[in-house]
Structure 1
Amino acid sequence: MHPIVKQENNMNQFSDSVLQDIGSLLLSKQETISVAESVTSGLLQFGISCIKDASKFFQGGITAYNIAQKYAHLKVEPIHALEVNCVSQKVATEMSLEVCERFKSDWGVAVTGYASPVPESDNKTFAYFSISVHGKLVEAGQLNSSKENPADVQHDFAAAIFERLRSTIIAHKSEKV
């Protein structure tokens, strides 16, 4: 087994056991997953793709950074998205539901937010995530990070989502026959 993430700057690694649990759970349920992300810039896709046998459950993902791409590929409602600079719980939920449709997956995970302080975020770093399964929202929330380096913030968000995803998959009863 290979390490999921190694950083020379001693940034915390994603928990290999959490990721492997996600893979084992999806395989045992015979369910698939896809990802839509912006603030994490592909870290969720990277982490999932490194899980053993990922090709048996990972359908793929999309990184969409602006409203034009989120609207075109993930069908976010454009008026609301413009009002909130594409960062809200509603946008994250729309992303998670649509990525399931696009990739024909059982599970969808999405995140949108700010990894660096900007005026639009009141100079705070935060993100909204959503997890859906079989066309229904099952978990959602806001994430915060005390880190200052944007890469560390992105990593914090991804690691927190992996933890929530694992517990959500454990708690959810499979609807497959």
Structure 2
Amino acid sequence: MSSPAADVVRLLTVKGGTLAVAESLTGGLVAAEITSVPGASKVFRGSVTAYATELKHRLLGVDATLLAARGAVDPQVAAQMAAGVRKALGADWGLATTGVAGPDAQDGRPVGTVFVAVAGPVGEGSGSASGGKVEALRLNGDRADIRMESVRSVLALLLRELADEQTGNERAQDTEQHGGF
């Protein structure tokens, strides 16, 4: 049985796509999971572990006003992190994780509040006009459990987006082959 990371590497290899990752609460675990897969170097561009809030702005281009108003644990911050790492590292796809692993609440958010995001190519089959999606998670467990579930969740989100992209492309090809019906 293959792992989500192996599935990501396989699908991106087949599609000729590349991936970059922006991490906060996961502290490099997403990148480690991906790079543990043989052949990851064909698709993985790199990662930015922006644990400190100001690095989210400085390295990933997250809006400083947004960070000041809402803190780092926010769905828009996650979306901007994913888009920012995609742009900064020149990848087709960007992933991001931000949240509260514990033991204490942060930015008024309870432990287990996590946002994972994906930013991808805009257009047919991307799933949204902006080419990105964010999922809000409410996770239970200790710090390690929350971090590992965040890794699994962000990889699952990317796999769904890659599958949706494929389905969208197949629908577009089918429409072209059948005269637009």
Residue in structure 1 matched with residue 126 of structure 2 by the alignment: none
Unaligned runs of at least 5 residues, structure 2: 123-129, 170-181
Residue in structure 2 matched with residue 46 of structure 1 by the alignment: 32
Specify the code of the residue in structure 2 equivalent to 1:137.
G
Q: Report % sequence identity.
A: 26
- Indicate if the aligned counterparts of 2:9 and 2:37 stay in contact, CA closer than 8 A: yes
- Indicate if the aligned counterparts of 1:130 and 1:137 stay in contact, CA closer than 8 A: no
- Structure 1 length-normalised TM: 0.83
- Structure 2 length-normalised TM: 0.81
Root-mean-square deviation (Å)? 1.8
Residue in structure 2 matched with residue 58 of structure 1 by the alignment: 44
Residue in structure 1 matched with residue 146 of structure 2 by the alignment: 153
* C-alpha distance in structure 2 between counterparts of 1:58 and 1:122, whole Å: 31
Residue in structure 2 matched with residue 165 of structure 1 by the alignment: 158
Residue in structure 2 matched with residue 8 of structure 1 by the alignment: none
The answer as to 2:92 corresponding to 1:106 is yes
The answer as to 2:6 corresponding to 1:20 is yes
The answer as to 2:107 corresponding to 1:123 is no
- Indicate if the aligned counterparts of 1:32 and 1:59 stay in contact, CA closer than 8 A: yes
* C-alpha distance in structure 2 between counterparts of 1:130 and 1:18, whole Å: 16
* C-alpha distance in structure 1 between counterparts of 2:64 and 2:150, whole Å: 25
- Indicate if the aligned counterparts of 2:72 and 2:107 stay in contact, CA closer than 8 A: no
Specify the code of the residue in structure 1 equivalent to 2:40.
A
SS at match of 2:26: coil
Which one is further off, 55-64 or 131-140? 131-140
Task: Find runs of 4+ consecutive structure 1 residues off by over 4 angstroms.
Answer: none
SS at match of 1:112: strand
Q: Over residues 57-112 of structure 1, what are the superposed CA-to-partner deviations in whole Å (9 max), with x where a residue is unaligned?
A: 00000000122111110111111112222111111111111111111100000111
Specify the code of the residue in structure 2 equivalent to 1:40.
T
Residue in structure 2 matched with residue 11 of structure 1 by the alignment: none
Unaligned runs of at least 5 residues, structure 1: 1-14
Q: Higher Cα Rg: structure 1 or 2?
A: 2
* C-alpha distance in structure 2 between counterparts of 1:49 and 1:119, whole Å: 30
2:75 to 89, 97, 101: 89
Residue in structure 1 matched with residue 176 of structure 2 by the alignment: none
SS at match of 1:51: coil
* C-alpha distance in structure 1 between counterparts of 2:84 and 2:42, whole Å: 21
- Indicate if the aligned counterparts of 2:100 and 2:109 stay in contact, CA closer than 8 A: no
SS at match of 1:172: helix
* C-alpha distance in structure 1 between counterparts of 2:107 and 2:95, whole Å: 24
> Could you tell me how far 1:168 is from its partner in structure 2?
1.5
Residue in structure 2 matched with residue 67 of structure 1 by the alignment: 53
